[in-house]
Amino acid sequence: MIITLTTDFGLSDPFAGMMKGVILGLAPGAQIVDITHEIQSYDILEAAFVIKSSYGYFPEGTIHVVVVDPGVGSSRRPLAAAAGRHMFVAPDNGVLSLILSPGAAEISVHQITNQSLFKHPVSNTFHGRDIFAPVAAHLACGAPLDSVGPRIPDFVQKAIPEPRPLGADRLIGAVLRVDKFGNVITNFRAGDLKPGFRIRAAGFDIQRLCNSFSEAEPGEFLAIEGSVGYIELALNQGSAADRLNVESGSEIEVETGQPNN
Same domain (yes/no): 113, 208: no
Domain boundary among 100, 117, 147: 147
Same domain (yes/no): 186, 115: no
In a domain, 95, yes or no: yes
Same domain (yes/no): 44, 135: yes
In a domain, 261, yes or no: no
CATH classification of the domain holding 218: 2.40.30.90
Same domain (yes/no): 188, 66: no
CATH classification of the domain holding 91: 3.40.50.10790
In a domain, 155, yes or no: no
Same domain (yes/no): 111, 203: no
In a domain, 205, yes or no: yes
3-state DSSP assignment of residue 240? helix
What is the number of structural domains in the chain? 2
3-state DSSP assignment of residue 19? helix
In a domain, 103, yes or no: yes
DSSP 144-190: -GGGSS-B-S------PPPPEE-SSSEEEEEEEEE-TT--EEES--G
Domain boundary among 147, 173, 192: 147
Same domain (yes/no): 27, 128: yes
Domain that holds residue 25: 2-147
Same domain (yes/no): 168, 143: no
Same domain (yes/no): 82, 203: no
In a domain, 158, yes or no: no
In a domain, 159, yes or no: no
173 Cβ neighbours under 8 A, 6+ residues apart:
161, 163, 164, 186, 187, 188, 192, 251, 252, 253, 254
In a domain, 157, yes or no: no
Same domain (yes/no): 106, 24: yes
Q: What is the reported pLDDT for 235?
A: 94
pTM summary value: 0.90
Same domain (yes/no): 131, 170: no
Domain boundary among 96, 115, 147: 147
**Which mean pLDDT values do the consecutive 10-residue runs of the chain (261 residues) have?**
97 97 98 97 94 95 97 95 96 95 80 98 97 98 98 91 86 92 93 89 88 91 91 94 91 76 48
Same domain (yes/no): 138, 181: no
Same domain (yes/no): 30, 121: yes
202 Cβ neighbours under 8 A, 6+ residues apart:
243, 244, 245, 246
Q: What is the reported pLDDT for 104?
A: 64
